[in-house]
Structure 1
Amino acid sequence: MRFLIIIPAHNEEKNLPLTLDSLQKQSCKDFRVVVVNDGSTDRTSEVISRYTENDVRFTTINLQKSEHQPGSKIVHAFKNGLQTEPVDEFDIICKFDADIILPENYLEEVGKAFTNNQTYGLVGGLLYVEKDGKWIYEGNSNKHHVRGPMKAYRRECFIQIGGLRETLGWDNIDSILLEDLGWKEIVIPGLQVKLIKVKGADYTIRPADYYGRYFYFLGLNRFLAYTAAAKEALKIKSPLFFFNIVGSYERCRSKKIELKITKEEQKAINARRWNMLKKKWLKM
């Protein structure tokens, strides 16, 4: 299996070398890397040059800095990188972040999973973060979901779902759509990917406005959005948080902001979320 790996990068001079070094150390050597320099103002371009000048598998493109919109910015950069390569010459399309460290067998094991299981559409490992000198499971998502920093898609699946959407929630939209089309999303627990978090940052805590917009752009109907809002509010035991999330969601609805999914895809997403709700909460 041949890999096409797209890595969006903005001001990642410190982290990017760790990511690219981990790729050079892979036991699987059949890959192509496109690093998308998204308007960096630090020495990211110099870092990239050290690899592109010495390893023909690495290439790059430079963009003007994308507008900072959660979700859409990174997908916009990814799509620009994807356009530089003939997708049909690759078996697996990867979207990796510029601040991860992959185990040396990552590509090899992902390739084996796809080869041995023709229904696998999306495969990845688990994210680990450093805490008190130890690498521990991040725990920001269920262990059956491939996180955004390390997505690997079978090419046919990637094309069938229409690629990635430039919107908040893209890394959940892809999972739902591919499963609705009969593909499977698989996490390989033994593949531990290190996420180099900003010191002191906590990605598990998001502002209410983020959640409201996220639920809207995911295409959730009111009932499911309000239910999801209640779940987030319960986590921090704050009724006000619920109302703030709902307020953000309703503002998006009143503005009729365009969604990046079709009506049919929206129906599929709501159906999947409803089934998940019945299974987890209502035990139906």
Structure 2
Amino acid sequence: MKFLIIIPAHNEEDNLPFTLDSLQQQSFEDFKVVIVNDGSTDQTSEVIRKYTDSDSRFETVNLEKSAHQPGSKVVSAFKNGLKTQNKDDFDIICKFDADIILNENYLSEIEKAFANNPKYGLVGGLLYVEKDEKWVYEGNSNKHHVRGPMKAYRKECFEAMGGLRETLGWDNIDAILLENLGWKEIVLPQLQVKLIKVKGADYTIKPADYYGRYFYFLGLNRFLTYVAAAKEAMKLKSPSFLFQIIGSYEKCKSQNLELKISKYEQEIINKQRWNMFKKKWFKI
């Protein structure tokens, strides 16, 4: 199987070498890497050039500077890289971040999982961050969800679900849609992916506003949004946080902001979330 790996990069001069070095050190070598330089103002382009000049598997795409918005910017950059390639030449399509470090057997284990399991549609490892000079499990989501920094899709699955959506919540939307189509999302816990920096640190959006917008662009109805908002507020023991999330969500609804998912896909997502709610709270 052959991999197409697309890496959006914005001002990643310090982190990108670790990611690209870890790819060059992979035991599995049949891959192409497209680094999308998304309007970087630092030395990212010079870093990329060192690899494209010495390794024919590495290519680059240069984009103009765009607004840094959670979700949409990174997927837009990914799509710009994807359209430079012929998908028919590849079996596995990956969206990787520019600040991760992969074990040398990462691609070989991913390839083996896809080859041995025809219904696997999305495969990845677990995300680890550095804390007190040790690499520990990030723990921001359940261990059965492949996080955004290291997505690997079977090409047929990727195409069946319509690719990635330029919206906040894209990395949850993909998992729900592919599962509805009969594909499986699989995490290989033995594959530890090191995340060099903390996600979201460079976003200007406030946490409550983030959650409100996230629930809106995920297509959740009011009931499920309010339940999810209450869950987040309970974590902080802050009633005001609940109302701030709801306010952000309702503002999006009043503005009728465009969703990147169809009505049918919204129904799929709400049904999945409702089933999760019933299973957790009513054991049905």
In the TM superposition, residue 198 of structure 1 has moved relative to its aligned partner by 4.8
Say if 2:120 is the partner of 1:154.
no
Q: RMSD value over aligned CA atoms?
A: 1.6
Whichever residue aligns with residue 177 of structure 1, its letter is: L
**1: CA distance, partners of 2:201 / 2:166:** 25
Say if 2:243 is the partner of 1:253.
no
Whichever residue aligns with residue 58 of structure 2, its letter is: F
In the TM superposition, residue 79 of structure 1 has moved relative to its aligned partner by 0.1
What residue in structure 1 maps to residue 133 of structure 2? 133
In structure 2, the CA distance between the partners of 1:87 and 1:199, relative to structure 1 (3 Å rule), is closer
Identity of paired residues, percent? 77
Which residues of 2 match residues 257-268 of structure 1 at below 5 A?
257-268=257-268
What residue in structure 1 maps to residue 89 of structure 2? 89
Say if 2:76 is the partner of 1:76.
yes
**2: CA distance, partners of 1:200 / 1:115:** 34
Q: Is the 8 A contact 1:5 1:93 kept in 2?
A: yes
What residue in structure 2 maps to residue 210 of structure 1? 210
Whichever residue aligns with residue 217 of structure 2, its letter is: F
In structure 2, the CA distance between the partners of 1:146 and 1:200, relative to structure 1 (3 Å rule), is closer
**2: CA distance, partners of 1:39 / 1:201:** 18
**1: CA distance, partners of 2:119 / 2:185:** 9
Whichever residue aligns with residue 113 of structure 2, its letter is: A
Say if 2:100 is the partner of 1:67.
no
In the TM superposition, residue 200 of structure 1 has moved relative to its aligned partner by 11
Say if 2:41 is the partner of 1:22.
no
Whichever residue aligns with residue 111 of structure 2, its letter is: G
TM-score (norm 2): 0.97
What residue in structure 1 maps to residue 105 of structure 2? 105
What residue in structure 2 maps to residue 222 of structure 1? 222
Q: Is the 8 A contact 1:66 1:77 kept in 2?
A: no
**1: CA distance, partners of 2:36 / 2:200:** 27
TM-score (norm 1): 0.97
**2: CA distance, partners of 1:281 / 1:211:** 22
Unaligned runs of 5+ in 2: none
In the TM superposition, residue 66 of structure 1 has moved relative to its aligned partner by 1.9
Question: Which 4+ residue blocks in structure 1 deviate beyond 6 angstroms?
Answer: none
**2: CA distance, partners of 1:195 / 1:75:** 19
